[in-house]
Amino acid sequence: MAVVTKMGKYLKGAALLSIAVALAGPINLSAASPGQCTEITENRENRENTSLHSAPVATSSQKAAAKAVGYFGAELNRNLVLRVRKYSPAGAAGLAEQDVIKSIDNIDVSNLDAADTLFLLQGHADETSELKIKRGDKTLSLLLKRTECPQKIVPTGLTAAQYWVLGTQMLDMGWPDAARKALQLVISQKPSSSLARKARRTIATELPLIDPPLEALELNNRAWNLCHLGHTAEAQALLEECIKEYPGFEWPYQNLSTLYSELGLTSDAESTTRALLEKNPKDVTSWCNLASFQIQQGHKQAALKSYKVAHSLDPENERVALLAQWLKEHKL
């Protein structure tokens, strides 16, 4: 069962694991905070002895430093697609959860590590790449056109629908203050609409109770990037430091519980999640994660109770829906 965390989310701003994997087996979803678009490329260009140093795509990308870093909007475990973000280039291209990316612009990525695959996928804004993917027993060809990384700016003059899209994107990127502003504009423009209802729920159940200071976001996002590159020990140390320095910020707890679960420390993952829920009992992602941890430990009735709390907080939440599907398939 996947852990339904949000590192934000940066799952907030995108960890290596996602809720969609819940349906595939015992992989943990990272509810981390999503990282900013520049982070992976910067880390990748500083790496030594990687398999792509001689690859034409990597070389040309490194030379084109003046170009804006691309945004594709999906979370991966190596070449397995775990989550496709809403309103993203990956979604527009037709990429779906559980797709296996076989090649990018005719470069075989089957045996590349996570950082190299992400480097090729990220590319630069407005570039288009051909992806060959395996979906079930079919092999498909998709065209991925990247955009610029979403900016941490809430412009004026947008419609409520546009502010909703912008708010969800900013939440995905790990910018809670900007996400809150955009979602509040949805509510102020269309207070009685279904979008306003969704915006209120998102603010209440997915955003931190209090917008954290920039230093806290940077620590959390740096840890997310380290996790994304497979440096779990360093990521764990940073998350523990972030919780110590900023105990009221929820997202590091989510990310740390995900790491604990990945390391097989399910009891620690559950206790960390419970510590978060004591601070913010309306955090829907953490209730889904708690249910996942309880299932892993064989506590099925407790997991059902946690799921019911999550469903009561936001029945339209995608993580709640995936958890419900998993519970139904396993007759729980």
Is the residue at 13 inside a domain? no
How many angstroms separate the first and last alpha carbons of the chain? 13
Is the residue at 30 inside a domain? no
Which CATH number is 109's domain given?
2.30.42.10
How confident is the model over 128-154, as pLDDT tens digits?
999 999 999 999 999 999 988 777 889
Is the residue at 5 inside a domain? no
Q: Average pLDDT of 113-141? A: 90
Q: Average pLDDT of 193-222? A: 94
Quick count: other Cβ atoms within 10 Å of Cβ 210?
11
* Co-location of 219 and 280 in the same domain: yes
Q: How far is CA 195 from CA 164, 202, 285, in A?
A: 7, 10, 20
Cα–Cα dist 84/76, whole Å: 9
From 103, 122, 148, give the residue that closes a domain. Answer: 148
Cα–Cα dist 166/315, whole Å: 22
Is the residue at 25 inside a domain? no
pLDDT > 80? residue 122: yes
Question: In the chain, count of helices (H) and strands (E)?
Answer: 14, 8
Both tokens of 155, joined, read 């412009």
pLDDT at position 74 is 86
* Co-location of 199 and 219 in the same domain: no
**115-119, 225-229, 268-272: segment of lowest average pLDDT:** 225-229
**14-23, 190-199, 226-235, 323-332: segment of lowest average pLDDT:** 14-23
| Number of residues assigned to the chain | 332
Cα–Cα dist 156/163, whole Å: 9
From 104, 124, 148, give the residue that closes a domain. Answer: 148
pTM score, whole prediction: 0.71
**180-189, 219-228, 297-306: segment of lowest average pLDDT:** 219-228
Both tokens of 149, joined, read 């990384």
pLDDT > 80? residue 114: no
Both tokens of 324, joined, read 């419900």
Quick count: other Cβ atoms within 10 Å of Cβ 113?
17
* Co-location of 199 and 227 in the same domain: no
Q: Average pLDDT of 226-240? A: 88
Number of domains forming the structure of the chain: 3
Strands 138-145 and 128-135, sheet pairing: antiparallel
Cα–Cα dist 77/114, whole Å: 7
Is the residue at 140 inside a domain? yes
* Co-location of 177 and 234 in the same domain: no
Tell me the DSSP string of 256-268: HHHHHHHTT-HHH
Q: Which residue has the higher pLDDT, 259 or 37?
A: 259
What's the mean pLDDT when you consider all of the chain?
80
pLDDT > 80? residue 165: yes
- Give the domain range for residue 315: 214-329
pLDDT at position 148 is 82
Q: Average pLDDT of 148-166? A: 89
Taking CB atoms within 8 Å and a gap of at least 24, the contacts of 126-129 are: 126/70, 127/70, 129/104, 129/105
Residue the block writes with tokens 């740096």: 222
| Residues 6+ positions from 47 with CB-CB distance below 8 Å | 115
pLDDT at position 230 is 79
pLDDT > 50? residue 221: yes
Quick count: other Cβ atoms within 10 Å of Cβ 330?
10
Give the residue from 292, 287, 279, 276 showing the smallest Cα distance to 312: 287
* Co-location of 232 and 295 in the same domain: yes
Residue 130: helix, strand or coil by DSSP? Answer: strand
pLDDT > 60? residue 21: no
pLDDT at position 67 is 62
Calculate the CA 132 to chain-centre distance.
23
pLDDT > 70? residue 281: yes
Taking CB atoms within 8 Å and a gap of at least 24, the contacts of 56-61 are: 57/104, 57/105, 57/107, 57/120, 57/123, 58/116, 58/119, 58/120, 61/119, 61/123, 61/124
Cα–Cα dist 246/112, whole Å: 36
Q: Label residue 322 by pLDDT band (50, 70, 90).
A: confident
Is the residue at 52 inside a domain? yes
How confident is the model over 66-101, as pLDDT tens digits?
467 788 888 887 899 988 887 789 999 999 989 999
Is the residue at 67 inside a domain? yes
pLDDT at position 100 is 96
